[in-house]
């Protein structure tokens, strides 16, 4: 992965010029590879989050949803410790 990142950075540096003397064969053959890797990574993440949300909506019980929203509300109110939640 580190080599791919270095290749992406080198690709960005040499994108302004049309000469690819310092570019590797992979960079010359697949100039779109950095965009492809980023797109696939984002698509996998978005699909994972959607699947988890969908599964929670279908199979999750109401109590876990109430716990999640009360924790969210406490964090938004600045009461992450739950002191005010017990006073309600």
pLDDT tens for 47-76 read 999 999 998 888 876 556 566 666 667 767
pLDDT on residue 53: 92
| pLDDT(37) > 60 | yes
- Tokens at 53, concatenated: 């949300």
CA distances from 22 to 8, 32, 56, 65, 79 (A): 13, 17, 50, 55, 55
In this prediction the pTM is 0.43
**Cα–Cα dist 31/34, whole Å:** 7
């Amino acid at each position: 992965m580190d080599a791919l990142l270095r290749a992406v950075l080198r690709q960005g540096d040499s994108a302004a010029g049309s000469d690819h003397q310092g570019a590797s064969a992979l960079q010359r053959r697949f100039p779109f590879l950095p965009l492809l890797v980023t797109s696939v990574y984002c698509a996998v993440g978005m699909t994972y989050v959607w699947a988890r949300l969908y599964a929670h909506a279908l199979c999750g019980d109401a109590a876990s949803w109430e716990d999640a929203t009360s924790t969210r509300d406490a964090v938004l109110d600045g009461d992450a410790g739950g002191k005010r939640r017990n006073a309600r």
